[in-house]
Structures are given as C-alpha cells and as structure tokens.
Amino acid sequence: MTKCLLGCHPCFRLNMFSKGTKRKFSDGGEEISEETLVGARMASSYSLQRQSLLDMSLIKLQLCHMLVEPNLCRSVLIANTVRQIQEEMTHDGSWQVVTEAFCSAGQSPSERLVATEVLCRSREQDAEPKLFSVISYEGCREEEVVADETLCSVSVSDAVSNVCLAGSIGQCWEKSDVETDDEALEDSRLGSGEDEEIDTEDEPSREGPKTIGQVFGTFEIKNSSPGPDSALEELFSDVDTSYYDLDTMLTGMQSAPKMGPYDLLDSLAPSHGSSSIVSAPNCRSDLNELDHIMEIIVGS
Amino acid sequence: MGEDGESPKINHSFLRDYVTEADVISTVEFNQTGDLLATGDKGGRVVIFQRETEPKGESEELCESGEYNVYSTFQSHEPDFDYLKSLEIEEKINKIRWLPQQNAAHFLLSTNDKTIKLWKVSERDKRPEGYNLKDEEGRIKDISTVTSLRVPVLKPTDLMVEVRPRRIFANGHTYHVNSISVNSDGETYLSADDLRINMWHLDITDRSFNIVDIKPANMEDLTEVITAAEFHPHHCHMFVYSSSKGTLRLCDMRESALCDKHSKIFEEPEDPGNRSFFSEIISSVSDVKFSHSGRYLLTRDYLTVKVWDLNMEKGPVETYQVHEYLRSKLCSLYENDCIFDKFECVWNSTDSVIMTGAYNSFFRMFDRETGRGVTLEAWRESSKPRAVLRTRRVYTGGRRRRGDVGVDSLDFSKKILHMAWHPAENIIAIAATNNLYIFQDRVNPENQ
C-alpha cells in the first residue's frame, strides 16, 4: 500500500507553483539550481500521488456495486474527489498527457468507444449518422475500428461499475477538440435485454462527464411512491455507453490492446450489420469468394 | 451486550474477541425521562433497558441506583429484498426516537434504511381470573358444569412487557433513511434520506408530505446529499438539515410547502491554508443536534465538533478539535474508508458539555465554559464496574507520559460512533461495537 502524503497537499502545491517562478542566478543562470530540481522532483511525486489517489477513487467507485445498495453519500464524496482531481489535472495540462498516452498505445480511445458502441447498440437507434461523424474523427479508417466484444459484454453486465470512470474520458473529449457530437455517445442504448440498466437515468444528458451520474442513477427505484418519472419511462431509459471507455482505457493502460483490427471478424456477430463497419462484411465476402474460387479450381 | 461473567476455569477470551456482526450496536437513545434506554443493532433487534429504582428503607425518597437492566428485547426489522433492483435492504436499525409519554405505555420509532415503525411498549402485570365460560387453560367449559356465576377478578402476575408494532411507515423513501425526528407538537415526525425529507403524521401511514427535495433533475449533477435532520425542540415549524458539503440549512415550514429554500444557511468559509483533496470529505457533517435550549446547534464533521448560534450564520461560535492528529493521515484513512465514518455528537442536559466519539474506543467530552476537552475510553479491559474512568491521551509530541497512546497504535476498528446522554442527569451510554457502556458521574450526579 503506497503511503500517500496527499493529506499534506498544501506543501506540494506550494512547490508546484514555485517551480514556475523566475529565478535569478548570480552566475548567469545556465545551471539548474538544486532547489528547482528538488521542486521538480516534489512536483512529480505530487503528480504520482495525485494519480494514485485518482486510481484509488475510481476503484472505490467501481467496487460500489455489491449485494446491498451502496452508500450514496460515500459515492458522492468520492465522485466529487475524482472531479476535483480531474479539474486540477486538466488545469495543469497533465490530463492531455493521459490521453496522449492512450493514443500512443496505437488506438485512440474514441475508436474503441465507437466500436463498443456499435456492438452494444440495439436495433432501434437513429444514431447512425452521428456514428459516422465519430468515425470520421481524425480521419480514421474503418478498418481501424476495433470492437472488443468481451469489453462490451463486460460492460453490459457491469455497466454500473464502469459508469463512474467515463467522467474522465468525457472531459477528455472536450479537451481534445473532438467534433464528436456528444449525443452520439449518449443515444446508443443497450436494448431491453439489459436488466441492470432498467433503473438508470431516464433523461439522456447533453453534456460532459455525465456518467458519474450513472452511478447515482442506479439508486433510483421504482416503487409505489408517486413521482414524476413513470415506470415505463425508466424501463426504456437511455444508457450512456460512453462509460465503457474508461474501462477500455484502464485495460489499455495495463496491457497492449489484445485485438488487432481484423480480430473484429472473429468477434463480430452477424446481426450487427451496421454499415459503419464496412471492412468486416467486405472481408467476409472476400473470403467467401475465395472459397468459391478454390472450389472451382479444385473442381469439387 | 453488557458484561459477561467469566468462568475462572475456562479461558473465554477468544470468544470475547469474536463479534457477531449482527450484534453491533447501531443506535442508542434515552427516552424523555431517562428511565428507559433503547439500543438498536445491525441485526434489526431493539433492546430496551430500564433503570432500576430501589426504595431506600425508611427514607421516603426513592434512591435511583443507576443500574440499567434489560427490560425488553424484540426484533424490529427483518432483512428485506428489493426485487426490482435485486438488492438487499439491510435490517440494521439506523435510528430510534422515543415519543413523549402520554399514558402508561411507551412508544418509540425505529427505522432501517427504508421503513419506519412505531412500536408500543406496554407492561402487563395483572391477568383476569375466574371466567365463567372458560376454564383456567382457556378451554370452553361445558355449560352443564356451571352452577353459579362469579365476577372475574384481576390477579397480579409476573411482569410481562409486550411490544407490538402499531404503525408501519413504508414506501416513503427511495434512498437510505439516515434520521428521524419527532416534532414538539407530538403529532408529526420527519424522516430524512440522502435526498429527501418527509413529514409524517404519527397516525397516518399511507401518506407523507415531502418537505425537502434536493434531488437534481439530472442525477449526474448530484454533488451534495443530506446527512442528518432534526426538528427544533420547541418550534414545531422549524427544522435543520445538514449536508455532505458541511452546510446547515434551517427551514421554516410556514414559508412554503416545499422547503427547498432555506430560511438560514450556516456555512463556515473554507480555510485556504488547510486545503487538500480531502477538504470536502472531512467537512461533511455526520450529525446535527439542537441544544436543549433551542438556541444552538451542535455539528460533527470528521475532525471537529462545532457549536453554532442560530443567530449567526457566518460561522460556528465554538470549534473543538476531536482528533486533529489524524489530519496528516487523511490519505490512509481515505484508503481504508475510515474517513467516511459517521460519528454522532450529543449535548448534556444543561448544554454546558458536549460529547462525541473517536477511534481506539476513545470518546471526547468538551466543557464549553472552559473550552477544555478530555479523552475517555470505553474498553472492557481498562474499566471494571464502578471503577473511576481515567483520562487518556494521544501522544502528539512533547513530553510523553505513561499511558499515552501513539497515533500509529490507534485501533481504527474500535470506533465510538453512537452515544446518548441522559436528559436530566450525568449518565451517558456509549456503544462500542457490540458492547454498551453506561457511565455515571458520581461526583456531580445532577446538573446544577
């Protein structure tokens, strides 16, 4: 267990600020003073501790979902702490570093998001045009869209646990000049096969890190007490799937992505014939044609 | 609960260390006279203790010996299951509140996370005997054997305490109920959960009025929850509720039906020098209590207890450090979740002393006149019945005295969360895990 000194946060903050101030050296200023080095070291250890606090908080939020209804007060306090850390990190610019790290892993999180979204989409949705706009982000080719069905299925059953994490990705979107229509992320739905999502938010939010709210959304219950929300509304409530992505983000952090672009073929179910993933059916038909040609050649 | 006699031959110490989760006391409350003390536990049981009264020989005065003995035990709440959410509903008793006594029977409200119940506690020490149509065992007599009529008479029997549920206030709360408070009008009470406060009439179970609702339209915008609520002791239209952000809101029900707009908000501005990522968590108020006079409020947050004057909203009038030495350990306490512990706080009968719990079985008392605090311990090893409690100290620097406890040797699993102070005398009840300690001030038993 790492011993965190973030309780003594003020002293680190002081150093972080002081490292930016101009220093006057009597000797001409080329040398890096020891104090600056120490300051830099403290700053990086502060960032490390802040990061570990963020990770700890996210894990705490994830572990919320147990047999008994989790404590709302505790969840709110942890979520507020996460928000605070995120705000500070975006302020410092270190949030960019985090997102760049993912991109350098070979896959932009947005692609993974789209992919999981596609797989988890049910029939009815009208978000396809928006989907295209997401895909066209940064000119990614369709083949590079990776769908991790296991991720999707994990998300389906553990949606709540993944929920809270997306808040951070949500902010990432805003900062990375993504032209993503937020609604594309929000409108995808799981479909009615998902029992656990029945009780989540009935109103799709239009803004940023909404997913932390999904944690609280599961606290809604339908009971006989009269309220403005009708039971039917909640049954068909929207689920924001952008919360899958932090799960993918975390798994991406730990290891290189396990699936390459063409693994999509193996995992893609035939029913998910979304036109956005063009490569898959194309490849499939190619293979079929190849078989056909082989048959002719072999003369069987 | 209570002290077990130890057999000199068999070593029971290993049994003593094994605490059944269900026996952990979750609430303690004296009734208005202090004769009865109720405790609720995690297993949904309520145990009521009664103070023994011993009439002294020739003297006409009844000398109260101060001993509390078990009066009645009953199962208040059972474990429940929410089928819609596939979640269990804990049977743990969150709060017990006594109603003012109106006749021979006693009434109390007990609540778990979702349901509040009104219980009637009554005594029966007589039974009718000499029925004409029934025999002693209750079987119908053969009429031909009845030769004469007699009037049944009441004969004294062994005391029997009967506890019956009189009202069940269910389906009023979506979130977890954290507080109940009986109104001074004697007819209504409030129940507060994380986001809403409802007002009930004691006789009506199928309806309640929602008087506070802080649920945002988008649950994603939720940043603050209600942590405690209480009615004013004298003004039946006024109540206060505390939040996880450290604010107190005083509401007047005469202003509007829905008291989302507060009459007064009590908030202490944040100290910029002490700012950290944990500032908000440690500012969350875990308990709020009106003083008996109705003039002051007592609040508990993670590191301090504060006294507020209802006439001054900009900050507390008194602040007492409960365990400031934990400030540098906040990160570890966040990691092991201790930072979310909800400590209660209580006033004494004259509002001159305040008390709250801490870790390592310690609890703290602060004298408001001198401003000084004392640390006491509720632990079986160090206190024998009728022994004088000695004060304890946590070593934080300077000269170390014998008996001082280092910060790192504090046992964070032994937390004193729940306690009560007798309404008239200096008797306190402290819940320490599954044990109940009752301490009495022999030097100053009555308050001046």
Q: What is the pLDDT of residues B397-433, one digit of tens each?
A: 888 888 899 999 999 999 999 999 999 999 999 999 9
Cα dist. B79→A225, B87, B136, B190 in Å? 21, 11, 39, 23
Per-residue pLDDT, B317: 97
For residue B434, pLDDT beyond 50: yes
For residue B285, pLDDT beyond 90: yes
Average pLDDT taken over every residue of chain A: 52
Can you tell me the mean pLDDT for B104-131?
Answer: 94
Please give the residue of chain B at the shortest CA–CA distance from A204.
B218
Residues of A in contact with B329 (CB under 8 A): 7
Q: Nearest-CA neighbor of B207 among A230, A221, A224, A167?
A: A224
Query: Which residues does B11 contact at the CB level (< 8 Å), separation at least 6?
Result: none
Give B244→chain A minimum CA distance, Å. Answer: 7
Q: Residues 138..177 of A with a Cβ closer than 8 Å to B: which?
A: none
For residue B14, pLDDT beyond 70: no
- When pLDDT is cut at 50, 70 and 90, the band that residue B197 belongs to is very high
Cα dist. B387→A120, B244, B300, B442 in Å? 67, 39, 29, 11
Query: Which residues does B53 contact at the CB level (< 8 Å), separation at least 6?
Result: B62, B63, B64, B65
Please give the residue of chain B at the shortest CA–CA distance from A14.
B273
Can you tell me the mean pLDDT for A78-97?
Answer: 86
Residues of A in contact with B195 (CB under 8 A): 72
Residue B326, judged by CB atoms within 10 A of its CB (0-12, 13-18, 19+), counts as: buried
For residue A96, pLDDT beyond 60: yes
Per-residue pLDDT, B261: 85
Give the tens place of pLDDT for each residue, B160-185: 999 999 999 999 999 999 999 999 99
Give A10→chain B minimum CA distance, Å. Answer: 6
Please answer whether residues B422 and B446 qualify as being in contact, where contact means their C-beta atoms are separated by less than 8 angstroms.
no
B51: β partners: B68
Residues of B in contact with A196 (CB under 8 A): 86
- When pLDDT is cut at 50, 70 and 90, the band that residue B437 belongs to is very high
Give A153→chain B minimum CA distance, Å. Answer: 20
Q: How many helices (H) and strands (E) does chain B have?
A: 3, 31
Give A165→chain B minimum CA distance, Å. Answer: 13
d(CA A10, CA B375): 30
Per-residue pLDDT, A92: 80
For residue A152, pLDDT beyond 70: no
At A235, list the tokens. 């049954």
d(CA B395, CA B392): 10
Beta-strand relationship, B45-55 and B62-75: antiparallel
For residue A208, pLDDT beyond 60: no
State whether A53 and B84 contact (CB < 8 Å).
no
Q: Select from B176, B194, B328 the Cβ nearest to the Cβ of A7.
A: B328
Give the tens place of pLDDT for each residue, B314-369: 999 999 999 999 999 999 999 999 999 999 999 999 999 999 999 999 999 999 99
Give the torsion through C-alpha atoms of A145, A150, A156, A162, to 10 deg.
-80
Alpha helices, DSSP H, located in chain A: 9-18, 34-62, 72-92, 94-104, 109-120, 128-135, 149-157, 159-163, 166-175, 182-187, 212-217, 231-235, 244-254, 263-267, 279-298
Per-residue pLDDT, A300: 53
Mutation target among B244, B277, B333, B335 for the A interface, most CBs of A within 10 A: B277
Q: Residues 3..22 of A with a Cβ closer than 8 Å to B: which?
A: 3-10, 13
Per-residue pLDDT, B386: 75
State whether B277 and A68 contact (CB < 8 Å).
no
State whether A222 and B84 contact (CB < 8 Å).
yes
> Touching check for A212 and chain B: CB below 8 Å?
yes
State whether B276 and A10 contact (CB < 8 Å).
yes
d(CA B394, CA B397): 9
At A146, list the tokens. 């990776």
Average pLDDT taken over every residue of chain B: 90
Please answer whether residues B93 and B25 qualify as being in contact, where contact means their C-beta atoms are separated by less than 8 angstroms.
no
State whether B328 and A8 contact (CB < 8 Å).
yes
> Touching check for A26 and chain B: CB below 8 Å?
no
Per-residue pLDDT, B139: 85
Give B79→chain A minimum CA distance, Å. Answer: 11
Please give the residue of chain B at the shortest CA–CA distance from A223.
B171
At B72, list the tokens. 């009645």
For residue A126, pLDDT beyond 50: no
d(CA B72, CA B55): 22
- Tokens 């790192």 belong to which residue? B408
Please give the residue of chain B at the shortest CA–CA distance from A220.
B174
State whether B218 and A9 contact (CB < 8 Å).
no
% pLDDT > 70, chain A: 21
Q: Nearest-CA neighbor of A88 among A53, A40, A117?
A: A53
Q: Select from B195, B284, B331 the Cβ nearest to the Cβ of A6.
A: B331
Mutation target among A69, A163, A195, A233 for the B interface, most CBs of B within 10 A: A69
State whether A4 and B331 contact (CB < 8 Å).
yes
Residue A172, judged by CB atoms within 10 A of its CB (0-12, 13-18, 19+), counts as: buried
B227: β partners: none
Q: Select from A67, A195, A205 the Cβ nearest to the Cβ of B88.
A: A67
% pLDDT > 90, chain B: 70
Q: What is the pTM of this model?
A: 0.68
Give the tens place of pLDDT for each residue, B215-268: 999 999 999 999 999 999 999 999 999 999 999 999 999 988 888 888 999 999
Per-residue pLDDT, A54: 93
Q: Select from B87, B219, B277 the Cβ nearest to the Cβ of A9.
A: B277
Q: Select from B89, B218, B330 the Cβ nearest to the Cβ of A213.
A: B218
Please count the CA atoms within 13 angstroms of the CA of A258 that sit on its side-chain side: 10
Give A42→chain B minimum CA distance, Å. Answer: 16
For residue B109, pLDDT beyond 50: yes
Give A120→chain B minimum CA distance, Å. Answer: 22
Helix, strand, or coil here: A111? helix
Per-residue pLDDT, A204: 41
Give B276→chain A minimum CA distance, Å. Answer: 5
> Touching check for A225 and chain B: CB below 8 Å?
yes
Please answer whether residues B125 and B156 qualify as being in contact, where contact means their C-beta atoms are separated by less than 8 angstroms.
yes
Please give the residue of chain A at the shortest CA–CA distance from B81.
A68
Please answer whether residues B304 and B322 qualify as being in contact, where contact means their C-beta atoms are separated by less than 8 angstroms.
yes
- When pLDDT is cut at 50, 70 and 90, the band that residue B382 belongs to is low
Q: Nearest-CA neighbor of B364 among B350, B352, B378, B381?
A: B378
Considering A91-95, A244-248, B283-287, B443-447, the range whose residues carry the highest mean pLDDT is: B283-287
Give B170→chain A minimum CA distance, Å. Answer: 10
Neighbours of B347 (CB within 10 A): 21
For residue B40, pLDDT beyond 50: yes
Q: Select from B86, B175, B277 the Cβ nearest to the Cβ of A84.
A: B277
State whether B275 and A9 contact (CB < 8 Å).
yes
- When pLDDT is cut at 50, 70 and 90, the band that residue B127 belongs to is confident
Which amino acid is residue B346, in one-letter code? V
At B17, list the tokens. 């260390």
State whether A71 and B340 contact (CB < 8 Å).
yes
- Of residues A58 and A20, more confidence is placed in A58
Q: Select from B220, B275, B331 the Cβ nearest to the Cβ of A10.
A: B275
Can you tell me the mean pLDDT for A73-102?
Answer: 82
Average the pLDDT over each of A70-84, A206-220, B186-200 and give the range with the smallest value.
A206-220
